[in-house]
Structure 1
Amino acid sequence: MPHYLTLVLLLILTSSPLILCLNQEGLYLHQAKLSFDDPNSVLSNWNPSDATPCKWNGVVCDPATVSVVSLDLSSSSLSGPFPSILCRLKNLLSISFYDNFINSTLRGDDVVLCQSVEHLDLAQNYLTGELPRTLADLPNLKYLDLTGNNFSGIIPESFGTFEKLEVLALVENLLDGTIPAFLGNVSSLKQLNLSYNPFSPGRIPLELGNLTNLEVLWLTETNLIGEIPDTLSRLGRLTDLDLAYNSLSGAIPSSLTELTSLVQLELYNNSLTGELPSSGWLNMTSLRRIDASMNELSGYIPAELCDLPIESLNLYENNLRGQVPDGIANSRNLYELRLFQNHLSGRLPPNLGKRSPLKWIDISTNKFSGPLPENLCLHGALEELLLIENSISGEIPASLGECRSLVRLRLGHNSFSGKVPERLWGLPHVSLLELAGNSFSGSISKNIVGASNLSQLILSGNYFSGGLPVEIGVLDGLLEISINDNKLSGSLPSNIVNLGQLVKLDLQNNGLSGEIPRGVRSLKRLNELNLANNGFSGDIPDEIGDLSVLNYLDLSGNEFSGKIPLGLQNLKLNRLDLSNNHLSGDIPAMYAKEMYKDSFLGNPGLCGDTDGLCNGKGGIKEMSYIWLFRSIFIAAGLVLIVGSVWFYFKYRNFTTAKRFMDRSKWTLMSFHKLGFSENEILDALDEDNVIGTGASGKVYKVVLSTGKAVAVKKLWGQPKSAEDGVDLEKGNGGFEAEVETLGKVRHKNIIKLWCCCSTNDCKLLVYEYMPNGSLGDLLHSTKGGLLDWPIRFKIALDAADGLSYLHHDCAPAIVHRDIKSNNILLDSEFGALVADFGVAKMVDVDAKGTHSMSVIAGSCGYIAPEYGYTLRVNEKSDIYSFGVVILELVTGKHPVDPEFGEKDLVKWVCTTVDQKDVEHVIDPRLDPCFKDEICRVLNIGLQCTSQLPINRPSMRRVVKMMQAVANGTHDKTAKKDGKLSAAT
């Protein structure tokens, strides 16, 4: 009672006299309100003049006793420590502060007072420190969700003593140690969710098989190793088993087929080997989803699987062989079938889709043959049909032309023939239509006018004939038209210039004729124009010079005449080819150079200072002999000089080369299963294969005998300082740093290090090859127009995911120290991978959370302000650098540019936004329709580049904020969702 009087006195001093109307529970809640920062005024109706708090926002009372039994303030943007005073509500059964900014530590002495609480949800907050061991002392606790916080340390041993706990969710924290065996003592558990924690490598505890009431076991990305134990087969009530993204090995135990209640089986992205269990599947009558993709499984797809009510079957990226069992067509529930990148062969089951509402099919990169089944879209649900790189033959079934639900159709590189069904051309939702590399014939139908959502039309390498229908010019969403290597004829439709979004137009090797339509300057986003080897005539329009992002121009092998437009000098071209036409006059001064000579050959009337051009004009016959002899003497002298230099370097490097070629002295260390040897790598280290040179060494592209490409970094013998930054810790030290870092990490957005090779004086790092190069090179080149906003956003989110993994999911945490656009590499689908760990550091989390460096590492424009003068490194330094990358993506500008004067990009953006409208910093190449989303991402970038490190959000929070942008909401959630493959 004295405590109550003290509380009343305090509230009298801080509130109005009407607060005396409140009952005791209302006083406790009002005191809790005073401890919160409430920016959205969610607690504004917590009025002290009310008699009880039962009508207050988030409060639920028992109608009989008028006592508070539940408090739910989810997603209210509240911040402050957990209000322990709530535990004085004697009948409070449920507390939910899900998705807020509750911070500080969760003190065990406070929580243990909540003796009546059954449901405690503090997920998606900012709680830190160790898990309170006293949580296990709550006698009635059934539901405990601490997902998405920053709890660290091990799981307390007391967590094995819960009396009634049914749900334990500790997903996405910073927990270490191994998954403890004592959790197998909590026999009441129905859900055990520990995913996305940087646990130490450990096996699945055998004791988890004791949890016979368990319904959900979610252990994704928890650093599991070893085999899947047979004891899991005891979990008879289990409906969801998720062990994905680990390093599990061995075969899938046949005992798993005894889990008769299982609905979902998630084993993808491990190192599982052997064959799928051949029998026992018929016991699993509830099974709906199987995902064992991205392993090393072999053998056949068991026929018994086809007799189950499977809805989703994902077995892609394995080594499966044989045919797909015909019985799979009997499934009435199958909506997802992904088997790409295996060695499957034979025909597809002819009745596939007849009974099931197929939605996504991806069987690309196999050896399937025979015709395409007729009934794939019988139920009108099919959205994706991806069959590229097989040997499927025959015609496209007419029924596919009725599939109005279809969004992506990729039939490229098969053996299809005949005509494309008329109605297929006009499917209203198709965005990607790829039929390349087949033997299709006939014409492109006028029905294409109905394909209002079409963005990519890829018909290369077929026998399509006739003209381009004028209806193509109506499809204003088209980004790419690739119909090269066909038999098209006629002229280009004049309205093709209306395709303002068009990035690529490739019509080479056809029989097209006529002139290029006037008005091409309206194709502002055009990056590639290839009309080579047709019969086009007339003048080359001067308007082409107005296409500011044009990077590739090939008009060779036509009948163009007249002069070369001077406007072409406005372009920054990586490729220019006007050869084999009827052009005349002078070559524009910018191109009248030896390096461009091949671009103009085969035009007898062209004149310039380059040998081989201007035939029959401007020369004096008598002088030709003098020039001939002079050329001979000059050539002989050059041969002598070059020969001497060549001999010198050959002799000087002879012993080095000899050592290099001594294969017996090379040491190979692999980090993944390799399909190649070091000899393949060493044989390909030729200067012709160099694709880049940086501060730490040369990079080669090596195409292996399998046809797959890898990138090989050969490190310099001695460290070199980078031109674009200060990274003096690279060189041989960079080799150890990259091996130490990349040899341990596994994440889809971190570059994969296949292996390393070394001798005493040479070190090689072998990575996966990224065909689109680096973000910096692409964004700041003339190809920057290819990166529309959706692609840029995807790149930012991918890179944030990778960096978040390094900071929060690695133990100890990894600080990259050189995040920049040139160290973000792009795969063929513009997926982003963080690369170049030459100066990365493992940072133990100590009291200060920092680590002292001997020198500055990083690149100009990206280095956090405090790093330059303290030499103290932590994850906040990376977050600043990542914020600069976001600003690059939004503005399209370099981090340091003369345009900014003495400012860098961060200061320029801040100043410009303060003084002018935000539109002045957005890249003008970006579509204005994305302005709202761009501004939200810009705001995230500005938070990341805050001058004070404490104000920068964690990378985990950055990912959540960007996911909220992607979802079009302000939610910061990161709940488990379904997994969809996106390989093709």
Structure 2
Amino acid sequence: MFLCCYEIAAGTAISETSLDTDKEILLNLKSFLLNDYYQISKGQYEEWNQTSSNPCDWYGIYCSPDGERVTGIDLSDNGISGLMFNNFSALTQLQYLDLSKNTLGGAIPDDLNRCHNLVYLNLSYNLLEGELNLSGLTSLEKLDLSANWFLGDLKLSFPSICNNLVVANLSENNFIGRIDTCFDGCRNLQYLDLSTNHFIGNIWTGFSRLVEFSVSENNVAGPISASMFVDNCSLLALDLSENKFQGEVPREISNCKNLVVLNLWGNNFTGSIPSQIGSISTLEALFLGGNRFSRVIPESLLNLKNLASLDLSRNSFGGQIQEIFGRFTQLKSLVLQGNSYTGGIYSSGIHRLPNISNLDLSYNNLSGHLPVEFSQMPSLKFLILAYNQFTGPIPLEYGNLSVLQGLDLSFNRLSGSIPPSLGKLSSLLWLMLAYNSLTGEIPSEIGNCASLLWINLAHNQLSGAIPREVTNIGRNATPTFESNRKGIQMMASPSNCLVTDRLLNVDKNSPFRSVTTTQNWKDCRSKWDRLLRGYGIYSVCLVGSSVRTYEISGYIQLSGNQLTGELPRDIGKMQNFRMVYLGSNEFYGKLPREIGNLPLLDLNISWNRFSGEIPEEMGNMRCLSNLDLSRNNFSGAFPTQLNNLNELSHFNISFNPLLSGQIPKHGQLAIFGKDSFLGNPLLHSPFFNLDDQDQFPPISGDEDDEVGTNGGGVQIKWEAIVTGYGCGMVLGVAMLYLSFRKGEPNWYLTVVDGIHMLKAKRLEKKKNARRRGNGKNSSKLEVIEHHLRC
């Protein structure tokens, strides 16, 4: 809080205005905010003047010690939208203004430039835009404009407001231009964050006299000269990541003897890693990934006894993992992903590192069986081995990793069954085994994983029914989250973007995609931290309510397997889950009504054999945004309760030909087009005709058109089916009606299931052929390049 850091002087200058005048201005501010047309919810400023006439008693208002003048306003996170108030300058003694975490838009009004006594200004996390001109705020000591839409260069404000400035955060905007001379006059500046903008040119040469400096995620280029690192370098944190710097890193960087974090990730640095870095005894995090350093790692780095996080990912090292990594016994996090290593886990000795909490070897070419020895790393919390070529079974011994919270073995060639011993992992938060060749049933012991909130087993060859015990996963992750909140978390590196992206983007329509699509490293680090501590990153609501809160959101992804049987009715107990993906399996039977008890955002059960009526209780899931029930055998009347789902943005109920009734002509379902209802001849719509033959998918042609071939390899032509259908439609409908009055005939279900599943399996076979066949290397490279764009 600013008031703890900046004591407001008691003896303010005598002015013509008074507290009564300040009160009048604040009431005008209240009226301005309350009259905003776009305001969704009112903040606590609505209570002003209701319980007390003294503005010094009002929420968010601070006065001078003598109580004679208003000196501060804090309306952060108060749901304020629209334009900024245009008369703050009338509060002539205003020194502190915090309007952060709202949705203010438009440009900063010229009036704010007349608040000459402002010492603290925080407008971060809004929608403010336009060029920045704060040249009148010459008393500013702390300025935070991060996460807005400001544009243009900084010449109108800097260096004119530099005299007293200590902290400046301009990150996550659209600023452009050069920064090499902007801050020369800021002699008191200690903290400067220019990250995630569009700055160009050379770096500002005075950064080494700061305490913290970040220019990450810009287009700043050129070499880093030795003269920039002066003898009295005071830096604690230096972040030059994700720019276009090139050349060698000067050894004079060791002049910054107090550095705690050095981030050079994602540039074009070449040559050797300076051995002099090994003399910076305070260094705790060293991020050198995404460059072109030579593969020789200086022995001097072993002297960094405080080094906890080391990231040397994406440096094209290749070959065997360097032997030196097995001697970094002080490390808690080692990230070597994306280096095309082919081996060296054992020869390097990294499997014996005693303090490792996070080990990331993903996006390499490691092969053979998974090392059983990883199970003997007592501190291991996160084991990330995705996107390699490991084969064979998952070691039973991995169930002995008592503190493991994240296991990612996806995109390998693993076979065999899922070990029941994984059920012993009481702290496991996520289990990622997708895109392998795992077989057998899901072990019921997985239900013992009370913390397991994110489970992805998609695109394997799993079979059998979902055990009832599996519905117990994620029932109580609180002990794990509380442990993470109390403990000191390791600092996330930029490489964690890949892990976070893979963890959250579990489906093309996943609600999480909206919070990960444009994420930068700072966002990734924040999301990683929030996930581990159990704080929500997406707004959700309870069943039957549309009131949203930020809570942790789990998911279960089982699509693309051979799972069968009926869904357990206990699925309704999975209250911490917001997304359920069961598509492209062989589930059958009625969909349990209890599924309507889940506070879901996303439900996909397409390409299965579910039958019976669609539960009307699904209309209670008011925050559901994606619903796909297509290509099943649902029957009965179309449930009009689905029209209560006011937040649906994706809806598909096509190819359930026994559904009947009327599609609502008003409400949420009326916004969806014909493609959402195809293949349902008994459904009627006031907007389009569902009886024409174009509603049925072709059964010949390419991947998008072809259902399959018969045993002799002859393609089934849809024209023939249409002819037969046209000739026998009347008789066929009559027979179907009589048959279904007595129950769903097995012959019909077999035919429909055959058509649906033949196409699903053929598509899956083609995908597997691309992934595992001759085109494997090129397609894998495309996938890797996609995921590396975080």
TM-score band (shorter)? 0.5 to 0.7
Contact 2:399–2:424 (Cα < 8 Å) also in 1: no
Q: Deviation of residue 279 (structure 1)? A: 0.8
> Number of paired residues?
540
Alignment of 1:881-960 (within 5 A): none
Distance 1:395 1:592 in 2: 41
Q: Deviation of residue 358 (structure 1)? A: 0.8
The match for 2:310 is 313
Alignment of 1:711-726 (within 5 A): none
The match for 1:480 is 558
Change (3 A) 1:58 1:520: closer
Alignment of 1:818-857 (within 5 A): none
The match for 1:193 is 193
In the TM superposition, what whole-angstrom CA distance separates every residue of 1:557-599 from its partner, at most 9, and x where no partner exists?
xxxxxxxxxx999899xxxxxxxxxxxxxxxxx9998878963
Change (3 A) 1:164 1:310: same
Distance 1:609 1:88 in 2: 79
The match for 1:47 is 49
In the TM superposition, what whole-angstrom CA distance separates every residue of 1:483-541 from its partner, at most 9, and x where no partner exists?
78xxxxxxx975578899563567xxxxxxxxx99738889955567xxxxxxxxxxx9
Q: Secondary structure at the match of 1:313?
A: strand
In the TM superposition, what whole-angstrom CA distance separates every residue of 1:749-799 from its partner, at most 9, and x where no partner exists?
xxxxxxxxxxxxxxxxxxx9679xxxxxxxxxxxxxxxxxxxxxxxxxxxx
Contact 1:37–1:80 (Cα < 8 Å) also in 2: no
The match for 2:140 is 141
Change (3 A) 1:544 1:828: farther
The match for 1:708 is 778
The match for 2:526 is none
The match for 2:178 is 178
Q: Secondary structure at the match of 1:374?
A: helix
Distance 1:591 1:44 in 2: 57
Alignment of 1:145-184 (within 5 A): 145-156=144-155, 159-160=158-159, 162-184=162-184
Q: Which moved more, 1:41-50 or 1:150-159?
A: 41-50
The match for 1:599 is 709
Amino acid at match of 2:357: L
Q: Secondary structure at the match of 1:111?
A: helix
Distance 1:592 1:84 in 2: 66
In the TM superposition, what whole-angstrom CA distance separates every residue of 1:785-833 from its partner, at most 9, and x where no partner exists?
xxxxxxxxxxxxxxxxxxxxxxxxxxxxxxxxxxxxxxxxxx987xxxx
Alignment of 1:957-976 (within 5 A): none
Contact 1:82–1:103 (Cα < 8 Å) also in 2: no
Change (3 A) 1:598 1:196: closer
Distance 2:308 2:567 in 1: 43
Contact 1:448–1:471 (Cα < 8 Å) also in 2: no
Q: Secondary structure at the match of 1:299?
A: coil
In the TM superposition, what whole-angstrom CA distance separates every residue of 1:11-68 from its partner, at most 9, and x where no partner exists?
xxxxxxxxxxx54544454455555556525334443996743212212234356544
Out of 492, 503, 517, the position equivalent to 2:582 is: 503
Distance 1:569 1:433 in 2: 36
Distance 1:44 1:475 in 2: 48
Q: Deviation of residue 329 (structure 1)? A: 5.7
Distance 1:470 1:160 in 2: 67
Distance 1:518 1:42 in 2: 52
Structure number, greater radius of gyration? 1
User: Is 2:278 the counterpart of 1:285?
Assistant: no
Distance 1:593 1:395 in 2: 39
Change (3 A) 1:528 1:317: farther
The match for 1:740 is none
Contact 1:129–1:150 (Cα < 8 Å) also in 2: yes
Change (3 A) 1:150 1:412: closer
Distance 1:458 1:281 in 2: 44
The match for 1:89 is 92
Q: Secondary structure at the match of 2:206?
A: helix
Alignment of 1:546-561 (within 5 A): 549-550=630-631
Change (3 A) 1:50 1:242: same
Distance 2:323 2:429 in 1: 30
Q: Deviation of residue 544 (structure 1)? A: 12
Distance 1:102 1:594 in 2: 54
Alignment of 1:101-112 (within 5 A): 105-106=107-108, 111-112=113-114
Contact 2:354–2:379 (Cα < 8 Å) also in 1: no
The match for 1:264 is 261
Change (3 A) 1:97 1:496: closer
The match for 2:77 is 75
Contact 2:325–2:349 (Cα < 8 Å) also in 1: no
In the TM superposition, what whole-angstrom CA distance separates every residue of 1:125-184 from its partner, at most 9, and x where no partner exists?
455544336336x2x421122334444433226623522211122223343321141413
Distance 2:370 2:360 in 1: 16
Contact 2:342–2:365 (Cα < 8 Å) also in 1: yes
Distance 2:129 2:434 in 1: 54
TM-score, structure 2 normalization: 0.55
Q: Deviation of residue 268 (structure 1)? A: 3.1
The match for 1:423 is 421
Distance 2:707 2:45 in 1: 75
* Alignment root-mean-square deviation, CA: 5.3
Distance 1:242 1:395 in 2: 39
Gaps of at least 5 residues in structure 1 are: 9-21, 485-491, 507-515, 530-540, 552-566, 573-589, 611-690, 692-700, 711-767, 772-826, 830-980
Contact 1:545–1:569 (Cα < 8 Å) also in 2: no
Q: Secondary structure at the match of 1:188?
A: coil
Distance 2:719 2:107 in 1: 76
Contact 1:112–1:134 (Cα < 8 Å) also in 2: no
Change (3 A) 1:425 1:31: closer
Q: Secondary structure at the match of 1:120?
A: strand
Out of 233, 236, 241, the position equivalent to 2:233 is: 236
Q: Deviation of residue 193 (structure 1)? A: 1.8
Alignment of 1:522-921 (within 5 A): 525=604, 527=606, 549-550=630-631, 599-601=709-711, 707-709=777-779
Distance 1:71 1:592 in 2: 65
Gaps of at least 5 residues in structure 2 are: 1-13, 472-554, 572-579, 596-602, 615-627, 633-654, 660-674, 676-695, 721-765
Distance 2:699 2:24 in 1: 85
The match for 2:120 is 119
Q: Deviation of residue 549 (structure 1)? A: 3.2
User: Is 2:482 the counterpart of 1:372?
Assistant: no
Q: Deviation of residue 346 (structure 1)? A: 1.0
Change (3 A) 1:295 1:545: farther
Change (3 A) 1:84 1:336: farther
Q: Deviation of residue 305 (structure 1)? A: 3.7
Change (3 A) 1:417 1:350: farther
Q: Deviation of residue 219 (structure 1)? A: 1.3
Distance 2:610 2:127 in 1: 60
Contact 1:473–1:495 (Cα < 8 Å) also in 2: no
Q: Secondary structure at the match of 2:364?
A: coil
The match for 1:223 is 219
The match for 1:358 is 357
